[in-house]
Amino acid sequence: MAASLRIGVDVDDVLAESLPGYLEAFRSYFGRDVKIENAAWEIFPRYPDISTGEMWQFFAKLDETDFLGTRPVYADAANAMRALVGAGHRLVVVTGRLLAHRDHTRRLLQNAGIAGLFEDLVHRDGEAAAEYKPRVVRERRLDLLIEDELHVAVAAALVPVPVLLFDRPWNQGDLPGGITRVATWNHVLRWVEAAAAARAVR
C-alpha cells in the first residue's frame, strides 16, 4: 500500500494562472512593457519613479475587480487535486498571498469546486516568501512543496524537502539538488505516485 504524503501546494501559477494577468494589468495601468520572462510579483522596486501612492492605487484597482479571487484555475490542476486526495494524500495550500487575501483565495478555490480538498489555507503575514515557505514546510512537516518561484524553491529545498517547480518563463535556470522541474500535472501525479510507493517499502 502506498504511503500518504503531506503536500504543500502554491496557488498562483500552480493552481491558477495569475502572474501573466498581473503583468498585463501592470502594463495597462502604468504603460510599462515588462517581458514575461522578467515578471515578478515584487515588480515595483524596478521602477523607483512610480510613487508609493500610485502603487497603492494600482493595488486598490486590483481589489475592486477581485483580481485574486477570480483567477482562472487550471482544469488539470483541479483534477489533480481530486486525484491526490483520492489516493490518500493530504493537501495544504501554502501561498505567497498575504493573510489579508485569505477570503480571495477561499473564494477562488470554492468557485473551482476544490476548497474542501485542502486541510488548511496558509497565507503569508508580511514575511519574505523565501523565509515563510521553508518555515511552513518545517512546521507542518510537509513531504513535498509544489511551487513556481525559483528563489522560493531553492530556499525550501534546503530544509530539505523535495520541490516540484512548474516550468514557467520566469523561473528558468539551473536547478540545485532537491528540485524537479515539471511541465504538467500528470508529471506531478507520476512523481507523487513513485515517491509514495518508494516510502511504503522502506
pLDDT digits (tens, 9 = 90+) for 90-127: 999 999 999 999 999 999 999 999 999 999 999 999 89
Which of 139, 137, 187, 129 lies closest to 162 in space, CA to CA? 137
Q: Is the pLDDT of residue 201 over 80?
A: no
- Give how many domains the chain has, as a whole number: 2
Residues 13 and 24 in one domain: no
Summarize the confidence of residues 35-61 as an average pLDDT: 93
Give the strand pairing for 144-147 and 118-124.
unpaired
Residues 26 and 12 in one domain: no
Q: Is residue 1 part of a domain?
A: no
Which of 39-43, 44-48, 187-191 is the least confident region? 39-43
Q: Is the pLDDT of residue 202 over 70?
A: no
How open is the CA angle 1-118-151, to the nearest 5 degrees? 95
Q: Quick one: CA torsion of 182, 187, 190, 192, rounded to 10 degrees?
A: 40
* Last residue within a domain, chosen from 30, 46, 64: 64
Summarize the confidence of residues 30-57 as an average pLDDT: 93
Residues 24 and 12 in one domain: no
The proportion of the chain whose per-residue pLDDT surpasses 90, expressed as a percent, equals 93
Q: Is the pLDDT of residue 2 over 80?
A: no
Residues 44 and 125 in one domain: no
Q: Please tell me the distance from the alpha carbon of residue 161 to that of residue 165, in angstroms, as a whole number.
A: 12
pLDDT for residue 193: 97
Q: Is residue 191 part of a domain?
A: yes
pLDDT for residue 3: 85
Q: Is the pLDDT of residue 7 over 60?
A: yes
Q: Is residue 41 part of a domain?
A: yes
Q: How confident is the model at residue 1 (pLDDT cuts 50, 70, 90)?
A: low
Q: Is the pLDDT of residue 13 over 90?
A: yes
